[in-house]
Amino acid sequence: MGSRRIERVAVLGSGIMGHGIAQISAMAGYRVTMRDVEQQFLDKAMERIRWSLGKMVEKGRISSSEMDEIMGRISVTVDIERAVKDSDLVIEAIPEEMRLKKETFARIDALAPSHAVFASNTSTLPITEMADATKRGDRFIGIHFFNPPQLMQLVEIIPGASTSTSTVDIAMGYVRSLKKEPILCRKDVAGFIVNRIFIPLVHEAAWELKEGKASMREIDAGFKFRLGFPMGIFELADYTGIDVVHKATKEMYSRDRKVVNPCPLVEELYAKGHYGQKSGKGFYEYGQGSYARIELSMQEAERYDPVRLLAVAINNASWLISNDVAGKEDVERALILGMGLKEGIFAIAGRVGYARLVDTLRALRIGSRNEFYEPDSWLLNLVKSSS
Ligand code: 3HC
């Protein structure tokens, strides 16, 4: 679309991510049309937006008249043609099923203006494959937000094989206009940057639980207080959605066995419909309400050393660097902004000691005979150069 400005944004899907993306786009002044397949989903999404904006008014971030203006910039529809026909940017946040996404993109390719950029908010699905369902591969890109989009500062930008540099610039400019920080994920790899670290962490913690190393609360507290994450890892999985974690796992694992060591506990929860906060039960149980937290204590944290979790996170972070997906600074920054880490993961690892992390990985590799634990070459070089 050259230098033409984005004015109208269509958001397809009004779930946890879709409603948040619609909200922050409207907060940045865009006219937004949010589309879903049933009116009841749109009603629920508008209720969530009202709650979130209400919180911001409460905290003095916006005034109540601004809240009204923001709400006024969002319209909703179940009609996909109406949603995209005047759009400059379409952001897809529908369920993580490739067939559904491709069908949707192929359909809107014929309905949206030719200049419009198409973006997918997929957690893990290949951008190039989705782009291939359209005739606008050059105007197709991954724009990956983090939950909750209203509060998380990171947005990953993932070009596909045919994405043009002007589309990358448009995506970067759009993200900056939301007052968020875009980080370029140079390759369309399974899990991009953050999910390549987050999803395997959920499974690793689940293995620790299954193997009886500590209780769920102890693992969560150790993860939160000793590594500096804002939530426990099970709490975060529930918050993100066990369905999302499960689907992301399957997709990533099918593309690359080296990316995650799936623990059956996650699949078991998924099979029972225990999707986390949204269904009232996941690893934990929840009451009613739009937002719930698990109270964890420092005493619990003292009973669990999260070295195995850190080792796995650092190993996957190193893989991203050695495969030129992102540089060390971008990986550090992505985790700080996308997962709310207090400090960079390499800074934490430096204190714990890289040699100890490599020893932990080697022991896991030998014990499990699983190549997932094989220490990455970049990490091994780091240990060599610092000894
Ligand atoms: N809009 C507005 N306000 C919100 C909100 C929202 N969507 N969600 C929560 N809040 C409010 C809370 O209600 C609370 O308000 P209060 O002070 O009136 O009670 C306030 O924000 C602060 O919340 P908390 O007290 O729970 O404090 P935190 O400091 O922990 O902040 C958090 C909350 C930002 C969610 C933080 O816990 C966090 O960063 N968690 C990690 C999230 C994360 O890792 N996300 C990425 C997951 S991976 C992903 O999304 C990728 C996908 O592809 C899978």
In angstroms, the CA 258 to CA 340 distance is: 25
pLDDT tens for 343-368 read 999 999 999 999 999 999 999 999 99
The pLDDT assigned to 4 comes to 53
CA of 241 to the centre of ligand 1 (A): 14
Give domain status of residue 2, yes or no.
Answer: no
In whole angstroms, give the CA distance from residue 168 to residue 165.
5
Give yes or no: residues 144 and 169 share one domain: yes
Pick the residue whose CA is nearest to atom 54 on ligand 1. Answer: 123
Structure tokens, 106: 């192929």
**Pairwise CA distance, residues 352 & 346, whole Å:** 10
Q: What percent of the chain has pLDDT over 90?
A: 96
Q: Quick one: 173 and 212 in the same domain?
A: no
Question: pLDDT value at position 288?
Answer: 79
Distance, in Å, from the CA atom of 373 to the CA atom of 359, rounded to the nearest integer, reads 11
- Rounded alpha-carbon distances, angstroms, from residue 126 to 98, 165, 187, 203, 269: 9, 19, 10, 22, 26
Look up 203 and say whether it is catalytic: no
Tell me which H or E stretch contains 41. Answer: helix 39-58
DSSP 118: E
**Which pLDDT score, from 0 to 100, does residue 5 have?**
82
Q: How far is the CA of 151 from the centre of ligand 1 (A)?
A: 6
Domain-terminating residue out of 140, 163, 184? 184
Going by C-beta distance under 8 Å and a sequence separation of 6 or more, which residues neighbour residue 210? 263, 264, 265
pLDDT tens column, 285-301: 998 777 889 999 999 99
Average pLDDT of the residues in 218-240: 98
Q: Do 198 and 337 lie in a common domain?
A: yes
Q: Are residues 170 and 215 in the same domain?
A: no
64 part of the active site: no
Q: What percent of the chain has pLDDT over 70?
A: 99
Beta carbons of 361 and 373 less than 8 angstroms apart: yes
pTM (two decimals): 0.96
Domain that residue 303 falls in: 194-386
User: What's the total number of domains in the chain?
Assistant: 2
Place of tokens 């529930």: 238
For 132-173, write each residue's pLDDT tens digit: 999 999 999 999 999 999 999 999 999 999 999 999 999 999
Taking the centre of ligand 1 as the mean of its atom positions, its distance from the CA of residue 167, in whole angstroms, is 30
Q: What is the mean pLDDT of residues 94-120?
A: 97
What was the pLDDT predicted at 1? 47
pLDDT given for residue 290 in this prediction: 72
Q: Using one digit for the tens of pLDDT, what is the confidence trace for 245-289?
A: 999 999 999 999 999 999 999 999 999 999 999 999 999 999 877
Return the minimum-mean-pLDDT range out of 4-8, 104-108, 117-121, 354-358.
4-8
> How many angstroms separate the most distant Cα atoms in the chain?
62
Report yes or no: 107 and 79 within 8 Å, Cβ to Cβ.
Answer: no
- Which two structure tokens, joined as six digits, stand for 108? 């809107």
- CATH number of domain containing 23: 3.40.50.720
Helix H or strand E segment including 347: helix 345-352
- The mean of the pLDDT values for the chain is 96
The residues facing 181 across adjacent strands are 154
Average pLDDT over residues 74-102: 97
What's the rounded Cα separation, in Å, for the pair 16 and 225?
27
The sheet carrying 8-12 orders its strands as 74-77, 31-35, 8-12, 89-92, 117-120, 140-145, 154-159, 181-184
